[in-house]
């Protein structure tokens, strides 16, 4: 394949054009009119210009890349290309109409690919006269950066085509995984359940926008918080993917959160419209203003208080573990929710907060229904004293990090259990498609399968959400004493 076409020159389409042109292919980029083509040109100039500014691309190389690209509103220019990748909005009727047109315009040997995030590739393929030459070629945003390409095959796909597209992806410097045609494929199916759940936690007041983003970035080690990522993906796109996922899975966690719907209806669609959860230049910021109690004496309840005691002592506080003195100004209860059950057994329940150390950098500070706000604020300062970033949240199962991370890990196990994808492909998808430092199975291994299973049981007990119940395969792995999924095969 030497000449390719890309239809739709939004951020994703323009990124795909750049990827092809950087790999030395000639690209014809098409959009509906001159204005849309101009916007696409703008994306390309900005992205390649930034690479030159950062010293990642020589000015001559940039010129050569741009020279390989032809942008036009005329679909007829696609008549001789070997492959077309479609990247238009996620509306089935739009895609079906476009593919009917491409089928008519493109030479008979051309492969037609869709970059759909979640729509049925089979339905798109079936609407053409060449269904065996239609595949999914799913890139990740920002396309020039993220290394994953999901190659989606259908029951109609010709033998050998997936391998050809996978080879092409390798030529583009990407890592392909080949998957079947299920809503959300691998990465979006896992990612959107998590992002939508973050919207629900925010909507239900379990924690704040910036707190949740900081918790997931600093506490779970993800490259972006969920709301920053939703702004990058586009809230309308995320909404549509959730709709399609819910339609297929009937899992309530995929039903688009009311908050997402409200923002989309309000036109706040994320970076593409300048504002989504955040305004364009805004970043997550934890402001901790307001009154705080003065703290001299700190009590610590729960296991392994030594490190905290040492740090607080060194900072000049009178810190006590075990028998909490009556005069403790703040009590840090390291215990699972409901923390309030521990609080009511202490002399001053209003002075008690839950504390959960998430990863190496975050301390989640949970206010119970009895905690005084001035105490919670002072507790967050204590978390800073012990060298962590404090995240404020409510006294709910899993606080923030585990409430978001553990169901995602469980979903990954279910995906393998259903035979849809292998452990290795799922890990690759999340690392290379979403920039996660580890795939879910490496993460499971690090956290401990039993710990994750127990956390899920607690989440299920509180929320009664069926998909929070530990996946049967996870239960079996724990029962078998398996610590690493590395040596296992699916569906054992």
Residues of this chain that interact with ligand 3HC (CB under 6 A) are 47, 50, 54, 56, 117, 140-142, 144-146, 188, 191, 223-224, 229, 233, 237, 433-435
Q: Which of 18, 43, 115, 138 is catalytic?
A: 138
Q: Determine contact, residues 331/351, Cβ cutoff 8 Å.
A: yes
Q: Is 150 a catalytic residue?
A: yes
Task: Take residue 119 and report the two structure tokens written for it.
Answer: 């729509």
Q: Which of 188, 207, 367, 422 is catalytic?
A: 188
How far is the C-alpha of 75 from the C-alpha of 98, rounded, in Å? 10
CB of 398 to ligand 3HC, least distance (A): 22
Q: Which is nearer to ligand 3HC, 43 or 75 (CB)?
A: 43
Alpha-carbon separation of residue 426 from 190, 347, 448 (angstroms):
9, 49, 18
Cβ neighbours of 252 (radius 10 Å) = 12
Task: Take residue 348 and report the two structure tokens written for it.
Answer: 């001053």
Q: Is 129 a catalytic residue?
A: no
Q: Is 115 a catalytic residue?
A: no
CB of 263 to ligand 3HC, least distance (A): 16
Q: Is 138 a catalytic residue?
A: yes
CB of 21 to ligand 3HC, least distance (A): 13
Cβ neighbours of 463 (radius 10 Å) = 16
Crossing angle, helix 373-385 and helix 306-314, to 10 degrees?
Answer: 90
Q: Which of 18, 86, 90, 150 is catalytic?
A: 150
Q: Which is nearer to ligand 3HC, 144 or 470 (CB)?
A: 144
Torsion sign across C-alpha atoms 271, 277, 280, 286: negative
Q: Which is nearer to ligand 3HC, 63 or 145 (CB)?
A: 145
Q: Which is nearer to ligand 3HC, 114 or 320 (CB)?
A: 114
CB of 439 to ligand 3HC, least distance (A): 13
Contacts of 164 (CB under 8 A, 6+ apart): 1, 111
CB of 144 to ligand 3HC, least distance (A): 4
Q: Which is nearer to ligand 3HC, 11 or 312 (CB)?
A: 11
Nearest residue (beta carbon) to ligand 3HC = 435
CB of 44 to ligand 3HC, least distance (A): 10
Q: Which is nearer to ligand 3HC, 73 or 435 (CB)?
A: 435
What's the length of the chain?
A: 492
Q: Which of 117, 196, 422, 467 is catalytic?
A: 117
CA 15 to chain centre: 19
| 418: phi then psi, degrees, rounded to nearest 5 | -80, -5
CB of 138 to ligand 3HC, least distance (A): 6
How far is the C-alpha of 377 from the C-alpha of 392, rounded, in Å? 9
Q: Which is nearer to ligand 3HC, 199 or 478 (CB)?
A: 199
What is the DSSP annotation of 132-173?
GGEEEEE--SSTTT--EEEEE--TTPPTTHHHHHHHHHHHTT
Q: Determine contact, residues 486/423, Cβ cutoff 8 Å.
A: yes
Burial status of residue 490 (CB atoms within 10 A of its CB: 0-12, 13-18, 19 or more) = middle
Which of the 8 DSSP states describes residue 301?
Answer: E
Q: Which is nearer to ligand 3HC, 231 or 402 (CB)?
A: 231
Task: Take residue 339 and report the two structure tokens written for it.
Answer: 């923390």
How far is the C-alpha of 190 from the C-alpha of 274, rounded, in Å? 26
Beta-bridged to residue 120, according to DSSP, are: none
| 47: phi then psi, degrees, rounded to nearest 5 | -65, -45
CB of 282 to ligand 3HC, least distance (A): 15
Residues annotated as part of the active site: 117, 138, 150, 188
């Amino acid at each position: 394949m030497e000449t390719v076409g890309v239809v739709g020159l939004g951020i994703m389409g323009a990124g795909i054009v750049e990827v092809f042109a950087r790999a030395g292919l000639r690209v014809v980029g098409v959009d509906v009119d001159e204005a849309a083509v101009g916007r696409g040109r703008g994306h390309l100039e900005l992205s390649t210009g930034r690479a030159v500014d950062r010293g990642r691309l020589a000015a001559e190389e940039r010129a050569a890349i741009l020279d390989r690209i032809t942008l036009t509103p005329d679909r007829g220019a696609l008549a001789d290309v070997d492959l077309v990748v479609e990247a238009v909005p996620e509306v089935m009727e739009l895609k079906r109409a476009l593919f009917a047109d491409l089928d008519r315009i493109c030479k008979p040997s051309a492969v037609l690919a869709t970059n759909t995030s979640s729509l049925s590739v089979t339905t798109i393929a079936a609407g053409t006269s060449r269904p065996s030459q239609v595949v999914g070629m799913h890139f990740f945003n920002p396309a020039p950066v993220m290394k994953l390409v999901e190659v989606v095959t259908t029951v109609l796909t010709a033998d050998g085509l997936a391998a050809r597209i996978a080879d092409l992806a390798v030529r583009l410097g990407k890592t392909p995984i080949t998957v079947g045609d299920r809503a959300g494929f691998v990465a979006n199916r896992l990612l959107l359940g998590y992002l939508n759940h973050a919207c629900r936690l925010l909507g239900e007041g379990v924690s704040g926008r910036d707190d949740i983003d900081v918790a997931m970035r600093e506490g779970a080690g993800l490259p972006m918080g969920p709301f920053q990522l939703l702004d990058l993906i586009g809230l309308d796109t995320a909404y549509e993917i959730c709709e399609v996922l819910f339609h297929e899975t009937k899992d309530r966690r995929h039903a688009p959160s009311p908050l997402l719907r409200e923002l989309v209806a309000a036109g706040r669609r994320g970076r593409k419209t300048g504002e989504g959860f955040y305004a364009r230049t805004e970043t997550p910021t934890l402001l901790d203003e307001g009154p705080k109690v003065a703290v001299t004496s700190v009590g610590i309840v729960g296991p392994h208080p030594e490190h905290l005691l040492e740090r607080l002592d060194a900072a000049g506080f009178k810190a006590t573990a075990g028998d909490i003195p009556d005069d403790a100004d703040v009590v840090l209860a390291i215990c699972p929710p409901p923390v309030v059950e521990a609080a009511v057994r202490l002399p001053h329940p209003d002075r008690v907060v839950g504390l959960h150390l998430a990863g190496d950098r975050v301390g989640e500070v949970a206010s119970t229904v009895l905690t005084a706000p001035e105490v919670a604020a002072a507790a967050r300062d204590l978390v800073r004293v012990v060298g962590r970033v404090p995240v404020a949240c409510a006294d709910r199962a899993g606080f923030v990090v585990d409430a978001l991370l553990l169901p995602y890990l469980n979903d990954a196990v279910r995906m393998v259990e259903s035979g849809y994808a292998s452990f290795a492909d799922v890990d690759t998808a999340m690392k290379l498609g979403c920039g996660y430092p580890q795939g879910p199975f490496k993460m499971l291994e690090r956290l401990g399968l039993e710990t994750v299973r127990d956390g899920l049981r607690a989440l299920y007990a509180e929320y009664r959400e069926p998909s929070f119940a530990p996946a049967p395969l996870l239960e079996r792995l724990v029962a078998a004493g398996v610590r690493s999924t590395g040596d296992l095969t699916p569906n054992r």
